[in-house]
């Protein structure tokens, strides 16, 4: 791939005459930020079609209730993609992925939930794949410039485009919880993230909150939903901050509802604080549209991560 020859787009060269395993491409994308490896993996999952995979990404984001629009599988925008003919049809020459720091963190949480072993590679400063060395640009890791043992950082991914600036999503351990933090468009992303982690370690402790099943009213029908996790943690700065009563908020506008679909969230707030935690509420069963006869169930779109998982399964 011509793109892999550009050192600014990821340090991993892919030759047409060469063969790489899924694991090797996965490691190259994760550790060395190889855009070419990410696109190659996307095309594999998308049946050889780059655009098809990006459509799958957008459907997956919608299914998760995440506000995001993707034009690439690698994070690049069309100013780079069009040079190598990876621009999605009917998108502008300057189109880019529209993803907030919050949305990126939510995607990272989903990935960690399904593939917790991802950190065995994301925490590697360097790794040799074939005859090539992968160099991780996350400078918070061991043997890097901003490494601090007490931060307990074990991943996850750096990023950069001219429009988005320096971006960083990290995973780290604090008080027995695996936390995720994202900073985008920063000129001092590693210094800022280091300070953020230190402030969390110094000033915040968790309090656990139990969540219950809740019944929502949607189109005059009762829809039961369970929390994505039965207990969650909210972080407080002092013991005077107490969790308030859990508030259940409906976000789904209308039926039908599919089992496992997020239809709202449980909201937990602290007294005397702006702190807040939200946990998705998932429907416990299918609910048909109002005043509509029950129709034959159509096949659901296969989960994007499930598709990727089926490809990676043999390698884990």
**Least confident window among 118-132, 169-183, 279-293:** 279-293
Helix axes 35-45, 22-31, angle to 10 degrees: 140
Q: pLDDT tens digits, residue range 57-106?
A: 999 999 888 999 999 999 999 999 999 999 999 999 999 999 999 999 99
User: What pLDDT, on a 0 to 100 scale, did the predictor assign at position 303?
Assistant: 63
Tell whether the model's pLDDT for residue 239 goes beyond 90. no
User: What pLDDT, on a 0 to 100 scale, did the predictor assign at position 310?
Assistant: 53
Tell whether the model's pLDDT for residue 313 goes beyond 90. no
Q: List Cβ neighbours of 1 (8 Å cut-off, separation of 6 or more).
A: 14, 16, 36, 39, 40, 84
Q: How buried is 160 (Cβ within 10 angstroms: 0-12 exposed, 13-18 middle, 19+ buried)?
A: middle
Q: 177 vs 307, which has greater pLDDT?
A: 177
Question: What's the half-sphere exposure (Cβ side, CA atoms, 13 Å) at 101?
Answer: 15
**Least confident window among 120-124, 138-142, 236-240, 283-287:** 236-240
Structure tokens belonging to residue 201: 């370690």
Walk me through the domains of the chain, giving residue ranges and CATH numbers: 2-203 (3.40.710.10), 208-290 (2.60.410)
Mean pLDDT in residue range 301-311: 58
Q: For 38-44, which contacts have Cβ atoms below 8 Å and span 24 or more sequence positions?
A: 38/73, 38/74, 38/75, 39/1, 39/3, 39/72, 39/73, 39/74, 39/86, 40/1, 40/14, 41/73, 41/308, 41/311, 42/73, 42/74, 44/311
Mean pLDDT in residue range 283-293: 82
Q: 1 vs 41, which has greater pLDDT?
A: 41
């Amino acid at each position: 791939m011509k793109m892999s020859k550009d050192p600014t787009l990821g340090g991993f060269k892919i030759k047409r005459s060469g063969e790489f395993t899924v694991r090797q491409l996965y490691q190259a994308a994760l550790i060395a930020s190889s855009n070419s490896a990410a696109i190659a993996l996307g095309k594999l999952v998308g049946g050889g079609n780059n655009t098809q995979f990006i459509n799958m990404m957008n459907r997956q984001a919608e299914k998760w209730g995440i506000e995001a629009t993707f034009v690439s599988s690698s994070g690049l925008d069309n100013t780079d993609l069009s040079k190598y003919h990876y621009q999605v049809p009917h998108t502008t020459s300057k189109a880019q992925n529209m993803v907030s720091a919050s949305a990126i963190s939510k995607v990272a949480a989903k990935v960690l939930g399904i593939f917790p072993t991802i950190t065995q590679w994301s925490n590697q400063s360097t790794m040799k794949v074939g005859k090539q060395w992968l160099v991780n640009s996350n400078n918070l890791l061991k043997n890097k410039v901003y490494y601090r043992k007490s931060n307990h950082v074990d991943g996850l991914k750096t990023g950069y485009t001219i429009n988005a600036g320096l971006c960083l999503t990290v995973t780290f351990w604090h008080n027995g919880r695996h936390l995720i933090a994202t900073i985008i468009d920063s000129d001092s992303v590693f210094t800022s993230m280091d300070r953020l982690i230190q402030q969390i370690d110094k000033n915040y402790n968790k309090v656990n909150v139990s969540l219950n099943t809740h019944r929502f009213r949607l189109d005059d029908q009762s829809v039961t939903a369970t929390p994505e996790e039965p207990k969650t943690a909210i972080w407080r700065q002092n013991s005077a901050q107490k969790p308030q009563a859990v508030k259940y908020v409906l976000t789904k506008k209308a039926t039908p509802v599919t089992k496992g679909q997020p239809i709202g969230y449980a909201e937990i707030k602290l007294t005397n604080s702006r702190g807040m935690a939200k946990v998705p509420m998932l429907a416990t069963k299918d609910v048909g549209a109002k005043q509509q006869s029950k129709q034959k169930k159509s096949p659901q779109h296969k989960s994007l991560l499930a598709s990727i998982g089926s490809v990676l399964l043999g390698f884990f």
